[in-house]
């Protein structure tokens, strides 16, 4: 391994666009090609979009969480998000979606509570839960790649395996650096406008006007910054040749292929089980 790789391993991950750190063989997800981690859950995500029951999303959530727990080095914040925020959000979504369902389709199920004329049926809750779990499952499946891949590695993989032109990929990466800068600039603009007395007025109309006022200075600053970055990149021969030297190869290895195929097989099993419906009590009407 090069000296650079040693330094990378030693260092804390300081930014989402820095290189992927290596956390050892157990945390295998970090060592997989980002494209494999995107390709593997894709069929599952498609299945979730069309599925209607509770068992299938639940199964995928469990699989993804186990994968992340074993194969990924998770920060405290990520753990908190996965095991505290996500369940709460799922519960809130389940009830909210339940309130939206057409009560005439589920009025054969037991009533859970009643407010005046409004009856909330168990069936509504089940339908809401199914929808909410589907969303959560899609999210958690995306996090398999999202929590374990770095931006530069994804771009490199896109360039190296999918033959995406590097000019597109690296420009997107450079643009990613704009985000914190814009955030800071927006904060300053808001301060400036508040001091000048633009904050006056409540309600959505005033809010829209206020935000429109932020857009012009933000855009003006953004365009100027982008022009400067472009000149600096041109000066360093960006786009000189159809390809560029790659110091970091992000190969698609056998293990990437194995990961994808195993994941697809598991997906097929889960979907098949869902169609055969071995657990009728987990079905949404």
Partner 1 sequence: MTAPVLRARGVRIRHDGSERSTPDGVGLEVRLGEVVLVLGPSGSGKSTLALALNGLVPHAVPATLEGSITVDGVETATTTVAELSRRVSMVFQDPDAQIVTGTLLDEVCFGPENLLVPVGEVLARAEAALRQVGLWERRGENPDRLSGGGRQRLAIACALALDSPVMVLDEPTANLDPVGIDEVYAVLERLVQTGEHALVLVEHNLDAAIGLVDRVVVIDREGRPAFDGPARSVLRDNVETLVEMGVWLPSAMLAGRRLRVAGHPVPELPLTPAELTALLDALVPPESVGGADTADRNVGVAPAESAVSVRGLRVVKGRSEILHGVDLEIERGAFVAIVGTNGAGKTTLLQSIAGVAAPPRGTVEVLGIDPARVDVRRLARTVGFVFQNPEHQFIRGTVADELAHGLELQKAEPAEIERQVGRMLERFGLTAQRDAHPFLLSGGQKRRLSVGTALIAGAPVLALDEPTFGQDRERAAELLDILSALNAAGTTVLVVTHDLQLVADHASHVLVLDAGRMAAYDRTEVVLASGALEAAGLAPPPLVRAFRAAADPAWHALTRLADLDPAALPSSPPTPSVPSWSHPPTAPSFASGTTSPRRSDATTPSPSPSPPRAEEAP
> Which residues make up the interface to partner 1 (CB under 8 A)?
2, 4, 7-8, 10-11, 14-15, 17-19, 151-152, 170, 173-174, 177, 180-181, 185, 188-189, 191-200, 213, 216-217, 220-221, 224-225, 227-241, 243-247
Distance CA 49, CA 63 (A): 17
Q: Write out the two tokens for 18.
A: 């820095």
Least Å distance between CB 1 and partner 1? 13
Q: CB nearer to partner 1: give 224 or 253.
A: 224
Q: CB nearer to partner 1: give 5 or 62.
A: 5
Least Å distance between CB 99 and partner 1? 38
Q: CB nearer to partner 1: give 114 or 245.
A: 245
Q: Write out the two tokens for 93.
A: 């979504």
Least Å distance between CB 210 and partner 1? 10
Q: CB nearer to partner 1: give 194 or 253.
A: 194
Interior/surface letters 22-45, b for 16+ CB within 10 angstroms, e for the rest: ebeeebbbbbbbbbbbbbbbeebb
One DSSP character per residue, 44-68 reads: HHHHHHH--SSHHHHHHHHHHHHHH
Q: Write out the two tokens for 244.
A: 């560029």
Least Å distance between CB 259 and partner 1? 26
One DSSP character per residue, 198-230 reads: -----HHHHHHHHHHHHHHHHHHHHHHHHHHHH
Distance CA 221, CA 182 (A): 9
Q: CB nearer to partner 1: give 177 or 253.
A: 177
Least Å distance between CB 225 and partner 1? 6
Residues ≥6 apart with Cβ < 8 Å to 130 = 52, 53, 54, 57, 284
């Amino acid at each position: 391994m090069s000296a650079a790789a040693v330094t990378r391993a030693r260092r804390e991950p300081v930014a989402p666009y820095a290189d992927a750190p290596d956390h050892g063989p157990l945390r295998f997800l970090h060592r997989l090609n980002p494209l494999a981690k995107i390709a593997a859950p894709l069929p599952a995500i498609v299945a979730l979009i069309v599925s209607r029951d509770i068992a299938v999303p639940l199964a995928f959530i469990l699989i993804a969480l186990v994968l992340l727990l074993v194969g990924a080095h998770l920060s405290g914040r990520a753990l908190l998000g996965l095991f505290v925020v996500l369940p709460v959000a799922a519960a809130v979504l389940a009830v909210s979606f339940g309130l939206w369902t057409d009560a005439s389709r589920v009025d054969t199920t037991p009533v859970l509570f009643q407010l005046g004329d409004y009856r909330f049926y168990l069936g509504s809750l089940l339908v809401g839960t199914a929808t909410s779990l589907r969303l959560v499952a899609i999210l958690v499946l995306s996090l398999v790649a999202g929590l374990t891949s770095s931006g530069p590695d994804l771009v490199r993989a896109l360039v190296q395996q999918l033959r995406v032109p590097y000019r597109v990929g690296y420009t997107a990466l450079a643009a990613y650096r704009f985000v914190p800068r814009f955030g800071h600039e927006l904060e300053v603009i808001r301060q400036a406008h508040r001091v000048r007395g633009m904050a006056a007025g409540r309600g959505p109309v005033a809010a829209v006007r206020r935000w429109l006022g932020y857009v012009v200075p933000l855009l003006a600053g953004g365009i100027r910054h982008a022009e400067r970055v472009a000149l600096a990149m041109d000066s360093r021969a960006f786009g000189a040749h159809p390809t560029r030297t790659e110091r970091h190869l992000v190969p698609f290895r056998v293990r990437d292929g194995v990961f994808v195929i195993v994941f697809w097989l598991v997906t097929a099993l889960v979907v098949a089980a869902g169609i055969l419906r071995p657990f009728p009590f987990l079905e949404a009407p």
